[in-house]
Amino acid sequence: MTPAPFRPTPLSWLAPLLAVACARPAPPPPPPPAVVVAPVEVRDVPLEREWVGQTLGSADVAVRARVAGIVLGIHFGEGLLVEKGDLLFTIDPAEQQEKTASAGSDVAVARTRLVQAEADLARIRPLAEMNAVSRRDLDAAVAERDAAAEQVAGAEAMLNVAKLQLSYTRVVAPISGLAGISNVRVGDYVSPIATSSNLVTLSDLDPIHARFFVSEAEYLELTRRFGTPTLEPDGRTPLLELVLADGSVHPQRGRVLKVDRGVDPATGALAVEAAFPNADRRLRPGLFARIRGVVETRAGALLVPQRAVQELQGRYHVFVLETGDTVALRQVSVGPRVGAQWLIEEGLAAGDRVVVEGVQKIRSGMRVAVATPAGS
């Protein structure tokens, strides 16, 4: 019987190929990821605090009308400097002149009465001494003289008031300062009890003040550290910087000038004013400003670049390079930011090196290759 021919199974031809594949060496492991590290910086760090505020004049005086009348003239340059005593406005003096004339007439009448009463007393007194007239007549003459004298004093007082009111028709600058735009024009009627009584506002700009608000806790901390606020250069009260809306810093530093009487119960904040020299009067009231000052100097502070710190659910971590070029994830406590760095309160020590680039490619315990930062 003839044996059946050999027929290979369908997969038998793969066996030699599999044997060859298994004989090949395994591919090498991938190289460790490259990272850039930076040493923990140790140095003394001045810690600043910043508050939002607004500028105002060291004296902002609203010049008001003190008598009623028509504005006849405006005698100052709006937006320009005026000196104390300069004439600002004239108000129609006709009514006040009439009142002054009437008061002057009353003084004349009272003085005439006084002269007559004194003459009568001078005539009756000798007669009373000779018992030629009764004691009652003498007393009446004395009373008439005293009443006439009082009338003169009252009339003269009313005349002085009328003259004072007349002087108010010439409105002069109560302080030296920068004049704002007038709230009235020639021909307007003004009155002390009307809304138009505020004629113009004058502001003393040197020094310029900045008002800002601090919390109750901040106030207590600052007073414990620096004592009672004072403008005297005692070496304790911190110098302040005034940062303007465009980011520029006013070249002259200032100090706290005054603190409000109490904390606002609605906001829990305390109003504070600082004074800054402003000899060129470049700064004007109403400017937005940030007031910045050094409140503490931290000796031997530990600093790392901000990009080395990772935040997750309110916790902060950094990758630290350990022996053997392995990295470990370490939790840290952070303090305030200092420029592009972060102050580390706990978790690091001087001499540690942290990963600043390549943190997305690594995990704790992984071996890394330390690369040279670009540009170094």
**pLDDT, tens digit, for every residue of 352-370?**
999 998 888 888 888 888 8
> Identical fold at 50-57+204-297 and 94-167?
no
For the residues 131-141, what does the mean pLDDT come to? 83
Asked if the model's pLDDT at residue 212 lies above 90, the reply is yes
For the residues 199-206, what does the mean pLDDT come to? 92
At residue 210, the pLDDT reads 94
Q: Which residues pair with 288 in a beta bridge?
A: 54
Best-predicted range by mean pLDDT (7-11, 104-108, 117-121, 235-239): 104-108
Q: How far apart are the first and last CA of the chain?
A: 88
Q: Does domain 50-57+204-297 have CATH number 2.40.30.170?
A: yes
Q: Which helix (H) or strand (E) holds 150?
A: helix 135-167
**In angstroms, rounded to a whole number, what is the distance separating the alpha carbons of residues 48 and 43?**
15
**Do strands 353-357 and 369-370 pair parallel, antiparallel, or not at all (unpaired)?**
unpaired
Q: What is the mean pLDDT of the chain?
A: 85
For the residues 189-201, what does the mean pLDDT come to? 83
Asked if the model's pLDDT at residue 17 lies above 60, the reply is no
**In angstroms, rounded to a whole number, what is the distance separating the alpha carbons of residues 258 and 208?**
13
Beta strand spans in 14-97 (E) = 34-39, 41-64, 69-74, 81-82, 87-91
Q: Which helix (H) or strand (E) holds 4?
A: none
Model pTM? 0.67
pLDDT band at 8 (very low <50, low <70, confident <90, very high): low
Asked if the model's pLDDT at residue 110 lies above 80, the reply is yes
Yes or no: say if 103 and 127 are a contact pair by the CB < 8 Å rule. no
CB atoms within 10 A of CB 210: 25
CB atoms within 10 A of CB 263: 16
Asked if the model's pLDDT at residue 299 lies above 50, the reply is yes
Residue with tokens 């040279």: 372
For the residues 14-43, what does the mean pLDDT come to? 73
Yes or no: say if 347 and 320 are a contact pair by the CB < 8 Å rule. no
Q: 7: exposed, middle or buried (C-beta count within 10 Å: 0-12, 13-18, 19+)?
A: exposed
pLDDT in tens, 223-255: 777 766 554 444 456 789 999 999 899 999 998
Beta strand spans in 77-191 (E) = 81-82, 87-91, 170-172, 177-179, 189-190
Q: What topology is assigned to 34-45+299-370 in CATH? A: 2.40.420
Question: Which residue in 111, 106, 91 sits closest to 165, CA to CA?
Answer: 91
For the residues 81-109, what does the mean pLDDT come to? 93
pLDDT band at 129 (very low <50, low <70, confident <90, very high): confident
Kindly state the tokens that stand for 16: 């030699």
Between 141 and 87, the higher pLDDT residue: 87
**Domain boundaries along the sequence of the chain:** 34-45+299-370, 50-57+204-297, 59-89+175-200, 94-167
Beta-carbon contacts of residue 104 (< 8 Å; ≥ 6 apart): 159, 162
Task: Give buried/exposed letters for 119-155 (b at 16+ CB in 10 A, else e).
Answer: ebbeebeeebeeeebeeeebeebbebbeebbebbeeb
- CATH code: domain 94-167 is 1.10.287
